[in-house]
A and B are shown apart, each in its own frame.
Chain A
């Protein structure tokens, strides 16, 4: 063992020291970068992925920006300081231990899968049980890919896109979330491991939800994901990221970036369900999810719609936003954020109106239980030149128990007097009378809670793709199990 480690260290040293002289052209066998972050590590990652020079320069620029930045402290969340030099920034995708049957999987996990109604085949995929070649995810992937390729749609991993479609990546990456945007976005830009790339050519309507495919394959998503979606003129795509299945990960810090570009008359629907490990009931452990998601309605009559269901993570910091640059552009944000036990969520959106007749709609539903804290933070900005801009915001909070908190931080910056802005906010508790009414009709406490919160979240859930909405409903119930009474 010791020998092997020494050997690895040696190879690693050689490799990291050799970079300036020889550049990086061939595959390297090491699977892990040493802990810590410096320019060498950035070079290591880029080399490991066999990236072109411009990509490396882009990453280095981001790293240099990051070094000058400070971690934001304004969100309404608390967590111990993160030691960025104690993290390993590169690990090759680990092969999951192959299991022979579901009998070997943690029964608690299987129970959750069953409650979610996830099919047996998919349970096997998610837990790494060997599956038939016919339904193997690789072949599924290939089938979809061929079909999409015929229409000119590119849908692949970010690493692949950098190799296969460098001109597209180079043109659009960082165009919505610049490397200097914020601390976590800069960090992600410097060290992102992989992610997804999606390009819909002019006039093409993507014929399928890019969801089922992704859900099958998303089990091994990385710590620093980077996603880029570009919708050319008149195109349409509905994209779904995430997984209702509980995602355990030993990496505590997750800092993803998602960028969306919609050109003239294009529409992008982005739905996500986040269920990272929230920590135990005492608040120990759990993932910190610090995400920058932003779309730009670059063209006239374009539309970007975010729908999110957030149930996981110990700490969530996330504001999917839309820059409404084109005239008549539409931005939408639909969100359900559930916090239980000691979870903390500070989430919301930014709608930046720049074009004329731009419209935005914000529907945020926060559900807090246990000792959790749930904050909505939203900015609606109407630029000076944005004539006839309209916004409607609705922020509803539901409290379960009396030890949790719900907070709303709406910000408004209006520089054009022709704007019409409406904001509605409510805070309510699950009423004992509602619970008793349901129970008198035969439902137990958990069924009753599930019914009430699904009703509360309906406006958001109805925006999710059908099959996912059903799972999301169950997920909400599971996340709140044991929180009532």
Chain B
């Protein structure tokens, strides 16, 4: 409630600062960034996956994370969202200056963290509409806003569904149950549109999508993009980045960012693969 007002104030500051500093310096020491990940170490069952990862995201930016299988991309998404399967052993993650690691997953969601799941989960018997109603009103409650009633909720859903060209029939179906791969991913973006997050993480949202579905998903993301939010796009393929154009591309290898650059880095990776970068880390 109070915290959210504070968050919004802070965000306004970011925007101003952003304009002053531009968006070039991605590693600058700033407390005004939107999402700040510093020296993040995380493990699962005693196996260290993230080994000192740093990323700074400012409002309005899109960052892409690429990297070979097993480099820790999905782990990073899970850790930011607060999945308790992973243990954070060192480092910090802050959203607008607030310590996210101290918060439960639902508090992070309330603060504005959204994860578009790589494998969206089926919940039998729970309609998409009911799921979203519970979700949106929980987040609103956290933010000190009045819950939406049935009519308002329906109106909002109808409006947001158009972003990803989803059919109303989805609302009454059990969430993700029997959905095709493409339908599941579109549903994730639809949920994102409903919740209007500050930081959205797209975990391999493009995997399993044909080109038409990919365009729909990318188009949805582009419409949701604004000066106040930021996107972290995790992908294997350069293809998605033709449609969601990133400001920065980071290469994650063995739990660390080994290279960062502009969107052209993605093209280079597409051409050369990751081997030349993996070689680099081995010598470090």
Contact = CB atoms under 8 A, between A and B. Distances in A.
Interface of A: 431-434, 436-444, 447, 451-452, 454-459
Nearest to A437: B121
A411 to B, nearest CB: 27
Contacts of B68: none
B189 interface: no
A443 B121 contact: no
Contacts of B124: 455-456
Contact of A451 (B110, B113, B134): B134
A434 B138 contact: no
B115 interface: yes
B125 A459 contact: yes
Closest 8 CB pairs of A and B: A455-B125, A455-B126, A441-B135, A442-B138, A442-B139, A458-B125, A437-B121, A439-B105
A439 B106 contact: yes
B156 to A, nearest CB: 15
A433 B84 CA distance: 10
A429 to B, nearest CB: 13
Contacts of A447: 134, 138
Interface in B59-92: 81-85
29 contacts: A437-B120, A439-B82, A439-B106, A440-B82, A440-B106, A440-B109, A440-B113, A441-B109, A441-B135, A441-B191, A442-B106, A442-B109, A442-B139, A442-B142, A443-B106, A443-B135, A443-B138, A444-B106, A447-B134, A447-B138, A451-B126, A452-B123, A455-B123, A455-B126, A455-B174, A456-B124, A456-B125, A458-B125, A459-B125
Contacts of B106: 439-440, 442-444
Contacts of A434: 121, 123
A89 B266 CA distance: 82
Among A441, A447, A451, A458: residue with most chain B CB under 10 A? A441
B117 interface: yes
| Interface of A (DSSP majority class) | helix
A342 B134 CA distance: 30
Contacts, number: 79
Contacts of B195: 441-442
A441 B138 contact: yes
Interface string B93-136: 00000000000111011100111010011011110001100111
Contacts of A437: 117, 120-121, 123
Contacts of B81: 436, 440
Given A436-B105, A437-B120, A442 B125 contact: no
Nearest to B115: A440
Contacts of A438: 123, 131, 134-135
Interface residues of B, number: 32
A438 B135 CA distance: 7
A454 to B, nearest CB: 7
Nearest to A431: B121
B109 to A, nearest CB: 4
A263 to B, nearest CB: 36
A447 B106 CA distance: 11
Contacts of A457: 125
A433 B105 CA distance: 12
Given A443-B138, A454-B126, A455-B124, A436 B104 contact: no
Nearest to A433: B121
A444 B142 CA distance: 10
Contact of A443 (B108, B120, B134): B134
Among A432, A433, A454: residue with most chain B CB under 10 A? A433
A454 B174 CA distance: 12
Nearest to B125: A455
A451 B130 contact: yes
Contacts of B142: 442
B162 to A, nearest CB: 21
A451 to B, nearest CB: 5
Interface in B144-158: none
A451 B109 CA distance: 17
Contacts of B108: 440
Among B81, B105, B121: residue with most chain A CB under 10 A? B105
A458 B175 CA distance: 14
Contacts of B134: 438, 441, 443, 447, 451
Nearest to A485: B84
Contacts of B121: 431, 433-434, 436-437
A463 to B, nearest CB: 14
B186 to A, nearest CB: 16
Nearest to A439: B105
B204 to A, nearest CB: 16
Nearest to A457: B125
A440 B105 contact: yes
Nearest to B126: A455
Among B115, B120, B125: residue with most chain A CB under 10 A? B125
B149 to A, nearest CB: 15
Among A431, A439, A457, A459: residue with most chain B CB under 10 A? A439
Contacts of B84: 436
Interface string B236-278: 0000000000000000000000000000000000000000000
Contacts of A458: 125-126
B131 A441 contact: yes
Contacts of A452: 123, 126
A457 B105 CA distance: 26
B125 A454 contact: yes
Contacts of A436: 81, 83-84, 105, 121
A334 to B, nearest CB: 14
Nearest to B127: A455
A222 B84 CA distance: 48
A439 B117 CA distance: 13
A437 B82 CA distance: 11
B185 to A, nearest CB: 14
Contacts of B139: 441-442
A442 B135 contact: yes
B117 to A, nearest CB: 7
